[in-house]
Structure 1
Amino acid sequence: MEREPLKYFLHRHPLIFNEVLDKDYRRSNCNVCQTTISGPNYICKECGGFIIHKSCTELSDKLEHPLHPKHPLIHTWQFEGEPKCDGCNGEIKIYHPIYKCSDCNFRLEAKCAFLPLTIQAEIHHEHPLTLVRRCLSLTCDACGKEDKCMFCLCAICPFLVHIECTSYPLLVKHIRHRHPLHLTKSLKPHLNQSDHRLCPLCVKKVNTNYMVYYCSTCDFVTHLHCAANIDMEGEQWERIESTSMLKFEDPGLDESIDSLPYVVKKSKQGEDNIEIAVEIKHISHKHDLKLIDEQLKNDEKCDGCIWPISPPFYTCTQCGFFLHKSCVELPRKKLHPLHQHPLILLTESPYVYKYFFCEALGRHCNGFVYHCDKCYFDLDVQCSLRSDIMNHEGHEHQLILLSTSNNEKCNSCDRVGIIFRCAYCEFTLDFRCATLPTIIRYRSYEQSFILCYKSEKDYDHEYYCDICEKPRNSKHWFYYCADLDFPAHPECILGEDPNMKFGKTYTFDIHEHPLALVDKRKGIHPLCNKCGKSSDGWTFECAKCNFNLHPLC
């Protein structure tokens, strides 16, 4: 029986009940408790973005709480600033729900307001713990962090712990390690080393005098919050109830999809009697592709990785289709440290608008994609080739991929993103900079531009970009042509959409001819033949009959 729309006191529109989560709301958080939505929920169809758990609609609009016994707390929204929650001491983001006493300016986030007052912790402690609010900074006996917030206190023995630390399970399985990780009180009695070890997930020191997650098989040590972290896209860990539930080997790759993505039509004998495929049929293209081992005079992009084409590569001269030899040989299925499920290689975006959003780059792309159909997680080709440990020409030490999202900036561009960090000197690098081509051509210039990592003091020119004529940060990487004495921002050399190949054609049921993806942000803005509105961005265009279609149409 269909439920009547719900009138919820914290929202102006009626809410529609859903027994299961709609795929359009994947990875959505509840607008009340801020935890992930998975089960029954209510959605506002008018706003589109308002979604809450069914259980959260049953919360009272007024609450009496023992942490503030003087006055009742009223359920409302946080409308200005980012004040601290008087429970967990964390910042309350604007438009987040709170329980508030206006007389005393006391605030509790919804997730803190309904914590049980007595907790039986999952961590190594045998006594019940009582929820207390402290005004002094105290050190957690589990993780070792000092905070001024709500703690759980054991009245029997001197044990004090953060609320979030009470729920860490005894066993977890993290995607960055093949064995289970055991919650361990302290490694100090078992180690003949210093009190500190390096956590491979956040690349920071671990104090082994406090609780850690540990694999004795590999001597793998991590912080509690790193091993049980869900900051990145998709779940990074899973709670394990017993060792009988664990799979100790890496997830297997389906043999049926591990076959080569191409068939050799013609080959020749190369050096050391190695067969070289000179003509192939690839799953990404309807015509045969021929091997070319010379540099093209004009600039073209590879249809796989969307990087400038360079030899050796395969091409279809009939269609202007290009693939690097390395892109031809990409595996059909692979595991990546950014995601918990195997990723499938697709030669075209699975979405109706024919491009995808790379989770590592934070950019739209329309080349080959490694895709998880369960989570709608997508990586472009270049990002898929970066593992959890990387060597880069721009830095002398190994870089390690962080499994935690701490809003850290990249040293070479100052952007915040998914970061690789050096354990020795705190150098950081994001995926955009890690995947920059080292040599590139720019427009009609015959000379190549080289990616430069050194300090600007090694160069005589001023700190300006010769393309946009704006200042450059002397600490940031840049492209430089020594023959022309021409320095430039990477974004000025690469353009506004470096991971998009415009001019690629696609077929749609709505039109009888192939449509080419073109950029209409400059110049004439044609009308979309479906919605009738002007197109001032990307559009699909038919050159034969002047037909235009918005990507979302």
Structure 2
Amino acid sequence: MKLQHWRHLQHPLVFNEDERSGRLCWGCFEPVFGPSYSCIESDCDGYYYHHKSCAELPIGLHHPSHPNHPLILFGRSTYRDNNREEYDRFSKCDVCEEKSHEYSYCCYRCNFNIHIRCSSLPLTIQTEVHDHQLTRTWKLLKFTCDFCGKEGNLPYLCAQCDFGIHSRCAACPRRLKVDRHNHPLHLTPSLEVHQSDSTICLLCVRKVDTLCLYYCSRCDFAAHLYCAMLPHNREFINLEELKEEQSTESKSEDPELHQSFDSEICKVIKTTVGEDGTQIATEIKHFSHVHDLKLTDEIPNNTKCNGCVQSILSPFYSCTPCSFFLHQSCSKLPKIKRYPIHEHPLTLSYQQASFFCITCAQRCNGLKYNCQICKRNYNVQCILLSNPLTLACHEHRLYLSKTNSLQNCSNCNSKRYNVFRCSTCEFALDFKCATLPQTTWYNQHEHPFNLRYTLEDDSGEYYCDICEEERDPKQWFYYCAECSFPAHRGCILGKNPNVKQHI
């Protein structure tokens, strides 16, 4: 069975009765399991997935929330690329008052917009958060939700006890699992959480200011209701089969990382015994290079590791005839790794040609982690950042914040969905700034350059000694203290600092 879908006119979508990939639906941005449609053409690489229900949505709709005019089905990603003003105008739902990438029904005369999930809300529901049946009112009515304490429109109401609630709050389960934490989280009143005045959501790293939250009392892990409900944070598993007493391996940590060789990635050819009696691999065969690599500590001038594309540090492995260098730590990377920026396991591979990393938004080459389901690539530097993260640029620890709204980087002012955020203040860093090398070299300059977060003097005039252009005093820069040589980070690192040119 095939379907010619309005959102993908290039090819027909093919029906699959039991899709198991878990890839995100273009309609509702929820994982796809069960009946679905997708494009199987090679040039689309299985990119266009839809739940059967989302693919078969009617193009037009008469809805009681906006009875005066018919509504038209709308996909905002087209406007996001071509017309930012139109995208912003129709990105917010007039029912749930949230922004989302999902399809919505719109009235162009009135600028009215309703998400597809809000348009299909049933008239009455039985929810886990209230004992009585709730009834939807379609009259645009401002109210304060008795569950989260926030204002909203179009509540579900309980006739027996004068209880009103948002539709999204009504969908909250009593327990759920997020991929950032080992144990299920329980729906909990904020007043029952210790020090509730300063409770921080460890998913978005902002203060929890709602009447209820998701909470793990064993680990003091708290999350906003809606942060925990986001598809890219939530782990869709059968909680009945998950024993809370059994601690599962954390997705954000690998206990064996940098501790031993993965035999599928690296084979030890020769070893020696160190002064402390431990075995040291002196010669290895790594999957990234055709020749054997030998351990050395003689660092060549201004060279980079072919794995992580950072300045080479001792000890490392090398193939001298090929000028191929690999950090000892890079040789011990695991083949499979989990990380909370992605819902599927990531696989280690090597690519000499450049690829695009979706977290730091830079061209990279060398070792990478990629998702074999979504075909997304991640630079190893981004994946290996610890969570929480401690950097010299900030006095507090930084936590990975993953939201559905853009967040500003405090250094370069770029806007990203994934940043490392301080739970104490508003400081945040994107992956590009968080992975900047602390020390690097520039062409034939005899001394290394160090990353500086504060100005070198109080002269009030700051220039780059490479391009001779003025520097923004608020932005980090590289500095050679031996020569009093300041420079823009772009001038030192170049246009593509994570791409190593091969001889």
Q: What TM-score do you get using the length of structure 2 for normalisation? A: 0.82
Q: Is structure 2 residue 232 aligned with structure 1 residue 225?
A: no
In structure 2, C-alpha distance between the alignment counterparts of 1:158 and 1:16, rounded to whole Å: 49
Matches within 5 A, 1:352-391: 354-391=353-390
In structure 2, C-alpha distance between the alignment counterparts of 1:379 and 1:68, rounded to whole Å: 44
In structure 1, C-alpha distance between the alignment counterparts of 2:61 and 2:340, rounded to whole Å: 43
One of 300, 305, 310 as aligned partner of 1:296 = 300
In structure 2, C-alpha distance between the alignment counterparts of 1:441 and 1:394, rounded to whole Å: 20
Given residue 154 of structure 2, which amino acid in structure 1 is its aligned partner?
Answer: M
SS of 1:73's equivalent in the other structure is: strand
Aligned-pair identity (%): 41
SS of 1:331's equivalent in the other structure is: coil
Q: Is the 8 A contact 2:262 2:333 kept in 1?
A: no
Q: Is structure 2 residue 332 aligned with structure 1 residue 329?
A: yes
In structure 2, C-alpha distance between the alignment counterparts of 1:254 and 1:398, rounded to whole Å: 21
- Deviations 1:10-59, CA, capped at 9 Å, x for gaps: 679586131139999954513xx5656664336698x9788765434544
In structure 1, C-alpha distance between the alignment counterparts of 2:467 and 2:431, rounded to whole Å: 24
Residue 510 of structure 1: aligned partner: none
Give the drift of 1:404: 2.5
SS of 2:403's equivalent in the other structure is: coil
Matched length:
480
In structure 2, C-alpha distance between the alignment counterparts of 1:424 and 1:63, rounded to whole Å: 46
Residue 134 of structure 2: aligned partner: 128
The runs of 5 or more residues in structure 1 that have no matched partner are: 505-553
Matches within 5 A, 1:457-536: 458-460=457-459, 462-503=461-502
Q: Is the 8 A contact 1:87 1:133 kept in 2?
A: no
Give the drift of 1:121: 2.4
Q: Is the 8 A contact 1:132 1:153 kept in 2?
A: no
Given residue 307 of structure 1, which amino acid in structure 2 is its aligned partner?
Answer: Q
In structure 1, C-alpha distance between the alignment counterparts of 2:94 and 2:264, rounded to whole Å: 58
Distance 1:474 1:28, change over 3 A: farther
Give the drift of 1:257: 9.0
Residue 392 of structure 2: aligned partner: 393
In structure 2, C-alpha distance between the alignment counterparts of 1:314 and 1:11, rounded to whole Å: 50
Q: Is structure 2 residue 95 aligned with structure 1 residue 87?
A: yes
Give the drift of 1:305: 0.6
Residue 551 of structure 1: aligned partner: none
SS of 1:368's equivalent in the other structure is: strand
SS of 2:281's equivalent in the other structure is: strand
SS of 1:237's equivalent in the other structure is: coil
- Deviations 1:125-147, CA, capped at 9 Å, x for gaps: 432232444353x3322223334
Larger relative CO (CA 8 A, sep 6+): 1 or 2? 2
Q: What TM-score do you get using the length of structure 1 for normalisation? A: 0.75
Q: Is the 8 A contact 2:20 2:32 kept in 1?
A: no
SS of 1:174's equivalent in the other structure is: coil
Q: Is the 8 A contact 2:478 2:487 kept in 1?
A: yes
One of 121, 138, 146 as aligned partner of 1:141 = 146
Given residue 444 of structure 1, which amino acid in structure 2 is its aligned partner?
Answer: Q
Residue 310 of structure 1: aligned partner: 313
Distance 1:51 1:286, change over 3 A: closer
In structure 2, C-alpha distance between the alignment counterparts of 1:434 and 1:213, rounded to whole Å: 29
Matches within 5 A, 1:180-195: 180-184=184-188, 186-188=189-191, 190-191=192-193, 193-195=195-197
One of 7, 10, 14 as aligned partner of 1:18 = 14
Q: Is the 8 A contact 1:266 1:280 kept in 2?
A: yes
Distance 1:187 1:368, change over 3 A: same
- Deviations 1:39-88, CA, capped at 9 Å, x for gaps: 4336698x97887654345444543322233x241426587633354333
Residue 511 of structure 1: aligned partner: none
Residue 178 of structure 2: aligned partner: 174
Q: Is the 8 A contact 1:14 1:44 kept in 2?
A: no
Given residue 225 of structure 2, which amino acid in structure 1 is its aligned partner?
Answer: L
Give the drift of 1:388: 1.6
SS of 1:165's equivalent in the other structure is: helix
Give the drift of 1:321: 0.9
In structure 1, C-alpha distance between the alignment counterparts of 2:395 and 2:185, rounded to whole Å: 31
- Deviations 1:437-492, CA, capped at 9 Å, x for gaps: 111111121121110012x3745472333334444332221111233333222222
In structure 2, C-alpha distance between the alignment counterparts of 1:405 and 1:109, rounded to whole Å: 15
Distance 1:408 1:56, change over 3 A: closer
Residue 451 of structure 1: aligned partner: 451
Q: Is the 8 A contact 2:21 2:373 kept in 1?
A: no
In structure 2, C-alpha distance between the alignment counterparts of 1:470 and 1:22, rounded to whole Å: 55
Give the drift of 1:366: 1.8
Distance 1:124 1:464, change over 3 A: farther
Given residue 389 of structure 2, which amino acid in structure 1 is its aligned partner?
Answer: M
Given residue 236 of structure 1, which amino acid in structure 2 is its aligned partner?
Answer: N
- Deviations 1:487-519, CA, capped at 9 Å, x for gaps: 222222111111222227xxxxxxxxxxxxxxx
Give the drift of 1:268: 4.3
Distance 1:121 1:239, change over 3 A: farther
